[in-house]
Amino acid sequence: MVLADGGACMAVVLLTGDLTVISRVEGAAKQIGSQVRAFASASQVFDSGIVERAGLLIVDLSTPSLEVKTFIEQLREATRSRPRVVAFGPHVHEERLAAARQAGCDEVVSRGEFFVRIGSILAGS
């Protein structure tokens, strides 16, 4: 992604296999002039090489086979830049939400709150 002045822009990375989530996040990003790269698995995120340029990494805790603690550890090892990590999941998955907090995600919210605040999350506030 390139800014209007020609400078490079930090990437927004979305980890989810849910097409509805992808569509909603991409729609919100488009409204603020940002772009999102979506991946269905943690290994795809790392294989893409994009983590070094990521400014924001959004993690859907409902992603199959996701071990959030391992993912965050690998993320910290894979990049010197420290992207902001926002994780979200159903409010009834209290253990997954707690595990994401414990793993070191910068922000952990319920799925409902995520979609209410998606614009401000993407904008960094």
Residue 1 lies in a domain: no
Q: In 65-110, which residue ranges form alpha helices assigned H by DSSP?
A: 68-78, 94-103
**Residue range(s) defining the domain that contains residue 81:** 11-123
Q: Convert the pLDDT of each residue in 17-74 to its tens digit.
A: 999 999 999 999 999 888 899 999 999 999 998 888 889 999 999 999 999 999 999 9
Residue 5 lies in a domain: no
Residue 109 lies in a domain: yes
Residue 47 lies in a domain: yes
Question: How many structural domains is the chain composed of?
Answer: 1
Residue 79 lies in a domain: yes
Residue 110 lies in a domain: yes
Q: Convert the pLDDT of each residue in 69-103 to its tens digit.
A: 999 999 999 888 889 999 999 999 999 999 999 99
- Residue 59's CB is within 10 A of a number of other CB atoms, namely 26
Query: If you search the block for the tokens 């939400």, which residue do you land on?
Result: 97
Task: Give me the half-sphere count of Cα atoms (radius 13 Å) on the Cβ side of residue 7.
Answer: 3
Report in angstroms the alpha-carbon separations of 77 from 46, 51, 65, 70, 82.
11, 11, 20, 11, 10
Q: What is the model's pLDDT at position 38?
A: 97
State the CATH number of the domain containing residue 36.
3.40.50.2300
Residue 78 lies in a domain: yes
Q: What is the model's pLDDT at position 7?
A: 35
Q: Which tokens go with 50?
A: 């994009």
